[in-house]
Amino acid sequence: MQQAGLADDDDEEIWVKEEDDEEEEDGYYMDPRSPAVWTPGGRAGGTSNRRRAREEKERTKMRERQRRAITGRILAGLRQHGNYRLRARADINEVIAALAREAGWVVLPDGTTFPSSSSFAAVAAQPPRPVMVAAASPSATPLALPASSALPLRGIAPVAARPISHRPAPAFALLLPPRAAAASRSPADDVPDGNSSHLLAVPVPVPMDPAAAEDVPVAKQLQVPDVSPRPPERDFAGTPYVPVYVMLPLRVLKASGVDGVMVDCWWGNVEAHKPQEYNWTGYRRLFQMIRELKLKLQVVMSFHECGGNVGDDISIPLPHWVIEIGRSNPDIYFTDRAGRRNTECLSWGVDKERVLQGRTAVEVYFDFMRSFRVEFDEYFEDGIISEIEIGLGACGELRYPSYPAKHGWKYPGIGEFQCYDRYLQKSLRKAAEARGHTIWARGPDNAGHYNSEPNLTGFFCDGGDYDSYYGRFFLSWYSQALVDHADRVLMLARLAFEGTNIAVKVSGVHWWYKTASHAAELTAGFYNPCNRDGYAPIAAVLKKYDAALNFTCVELRTMDQHEVYPEAFADPEGLVWQVLNAAWDAGIQVASENALPCYDRDGFNKILENAKPLNDPDGRHLLGFTYLRLGKDLFERPNFFEFERFIKRMHGGNIS
């Protein structure tokens, strides 16, 4: 092992392993000058051949040391000036991978590299123009290549090219004209010395004759121009105002410029002990505090339990009197194939069943919402309450509880169907009889378990039973039960909150999105395989009641998911693009939330791109954004600075 110091950073070092370039095989030696001549043991070639071999070996080692020295300087520069997370002993493969990811490409652990859907979206959104490849040789002339065309929108594994984000075209090996580059930049993107960088280029090495390379200085063999630490950012000054809400606690958030707060009104707290006995005292005190701060309120009608999901740090069960009913009649809960009950929320099978002390589930929900509307009438009249979000399932989202951690599910498992309580089974039998195939009155018996992969099941694999006559029947019934539940509850919500904005939260099940079956979406109730749009029926029922669609995971980037969980075939960007367009095509408003904690600029920029699509011909943008997963990390100085900066850009303000 030989240790070589880095010229630009004495604190960093790279370990170099000298490799012997002699080729030996079964006692035979290959003459490097005459590769077609093999001599036993390397002796018959004579002394001159051995001397030439040693000289060639020394020259090879010298070239290798020069290349590694260049790699070391590149690593030091990227770590120091470009915020690249490269380890001190990184090799050239890691450098290339980091640059490719920065340019919007996806690099899998085995080295497989392909363009992300976001990079193709940017290319497709721009008019055709030449792309310049910067050559490494000082005397080379840039080579003009035709611009790439967009890929089909409904592709499946291994690449799904659905244009969703509006990132700039990949910076890897691209040259932008100074005028165009300047137009796409803001003052904040200037390089540290104060000079604007108009060349967004990474040199592409040109093969050089090994003998000639010895006479060329190291600095000329590979020249790296100055590049800005970050890719150009859009200037959101003057763009539409998108309000930003936060989940409690308030703390210092008022000063950051947020528009309001989101508050869960828990069914298990308010109607805890007896039917139709509501205790709103705590909420009244809280709402008064929010009014004094002159903030708006988004209120969630939370008909599910709190605890056991991402971000839950407290436990709020369903009302005690409902739990007592569940002890004697556990079929009021969603149930999996093994008979395990999920007590997070009530099964949609009891929506019209009088099992809750003489009331149906939808009647219980309506009475709760009507009580809230009467109790806080003044907040509606004064406009303090700006929106009511209607909880329709697990986590307050319109979905089946198909991936519960309490039953052992771990990401990226496909989940399980939740239709085995006797009420939903009765509905399935009725649908099968109406179709004339009573044998179809059953759930799939080859759909795997919570942590299965699609290709390892007979139902979800490519060409599996999900696309058979029975599979299409079952999935249509399963997803229609979800839509019917939304229809029933929203009809009563519109009566209770007449004249008030209402919304429904839809979860972003983005894993296995790049497979044909979209298995995780199917078990959650979204009938959205690669040959069907499963979100259009949901958008249609929301349109019927003038309800907005609140969607999650708008901060997630596909290439990040591939880096962490390449086996999940996730595509959050493709999913967001599909759902937002399904809603906008139906003529309904769209709001969004983050799915995971978000403190960095990259995540905030992804939210901005989705909130205000670039060059949208209709000028469409999000109705609002709610920041979830608020924790103490947000209030660390650099994180809170990024949060304030994000809010200003969401409001269309100038950050310079």
Q: What is the CATH number of the domain that holds 258?
A: 3.20.20.80
Give a yes or no: residue 639 inside a domain.
yes
Question: pTM for this structure?
Answer: 0.65
377 is in an annotated binding site: no
Catalytic residue among 102, 555, 593, 642: 593
Give the pLDDT confidence of 527-571 residue by residue, as tens digits: 999 999 999 999 999 999 999 999 988 989 899 899 999 999 999
Give a yes or no: residue 540 inside a domain.
yes
Angle 440-444-450 from CA coordinates, rounded to 5° = 155
651 is in an annotated binding site: no
Which helix H or strand E contains 371, and what residues bound it?
Answer: helix 361-375
421 is in an annotated binding site: no
Give a yes or no: residue 19 inside a domain.
no
Q: Average pLDDT in the 574-584 region?
A: 95
Give a yes or no: residue 23 inside a domain.
no
Residue 467 binned pLDDT confidence (cut-offs 50, 70, 90):
very high
Give a yes or no: residue 2 inside a domain.
no
- Give the burial class of 161: count Cβ atoms within 10 A of its Cβ; 0-12 exposed, 13-18 middle, 19 or more buried: buried
Q: Average pLDDT in the 313-321 region?
A: 90
Give a yes or no: residue 36 inside a domain.
no
Give the pLDDT confidence of 58-98 residue by residue, as tens digits: 888 888 777 777 777 777 777 666 666 666 666 777 778 77
Task: Tell me the three state secondary structure of residue 319.
Answer: coil
Catalytic residue among 305, 353, 387, 397: 397
Give a yes or no: residue 274 inside a domain.
yes
Per-residue pLDDT, 195:
35
DSSP state of 167: P
Q: Pick 235 or 182 by higher pLDDT.
A: 235
Residue 29 binned pLDDT confidence (cut-offs 50, 70, 90):
very low
Give the pLDDT confidence of 242-267 residue by residue, as tens digits: 766 666 556 666 777 888 889 999 99
552 is in an annotated binding site: yes
Decide: 625 and 580 in contact? Cβ < 8 Å: no
Report the range of poorest mean pLDDT among 29-38, 171-180, 273-282. Answer: 171-180
Structural domain that includes position 77: 67-81+90-106
Known catalytic residue: 397?
yes
629 is in an annotated binding site: yes
595 is in an annotated binding site: yes
**Same domain? 471 vs 324:** yes
Going by C-alpha positions, the residue among 240, 229, 248, 502 that lies closest to residue 365 is 502
Which of 144-148, 513-517, 598-602 tops mean pLDDT? 513-517
291 is in an annotated binding site: no
Burial 470-490 (b: 16+ CB within 10 A, else e): bbebbbebbbbbbbebbbbbb
Rounding to the nearest 10 degrees, give the CA dihedral for residues 34, 35, 40, 45. Answer: 10
Give the pLDDT confidence of 493-533 residue by residue, as tens digits: 999 999 999 999 999 999 999 999 999 999 999 999 999 99
Which helix H or strand E contains 65, and what residues bound it?
Answer: helix 46-81
Domain count, the chain: 2
* 532 token code pair: 């069907």
Residues 6+ apart with CB under 8 A from 423: 331, 332, 347, 349, 350, 353
Give a yes or no: residue 39 inside a domain.
no
| Beta-ladder partners of 28 | 25, 40
Decide: 243 and 637 in contact? Cβ < 8 Å: no
